[in-house]
Amino acid sequence: MILIIQLLVLILIILSIILVVGIPVTLASPGQWEKSKNLIYTSTAVWAGLIIITSIANSFIA
């Protein structure tokens, strides 16, 4: 169970880094917002879902 939480946290960290770099680059690039809007919204929803899943899984350990 601890291995699962560690993997969830690793995925969360990687996705967070991608979003921290990707969103400002997308917003600064002309015309990219319209092309990447759905991808950014989906990635943000996955990120929020990972937060919830990780916190629920962590509650079983403590």
Residue 56's pLDDT band (cuts 50, 70, 90): very high
62: its two tokens: 């403590």
Q: Which CATH superfamily is domain 2-59 in?
A: Photosystem II PsbZ, reaction centre (1.10.287.740)
The C-alpha atoms of residue 19 and residue 25 are separated, in whole angstroms, by 10
Secondary structure letter of residue 62 according to DSSP: -
Q: Where are the domains of the chain?
A: 2-59
What separation, in Å, do the N-terminal and C-terminal C-alpha atoms of the chain show? 11
Span 20-54, pLDDT tens digits? 999 999 999 998 889 999 999 999 999 999 999 99
- Residue owning tokens 């601890």: 2
**Closest alpha carbon to 50 in 2, 3, 13, 24:** 13
Q: What is the pLDDT of residue 62?
A: 65
pTM, two decimals, is 0.86
Question: Which residues have a Cβ under 8 Å from the Cβ of 53 and sit 6 or more positions away?
Answer: 8
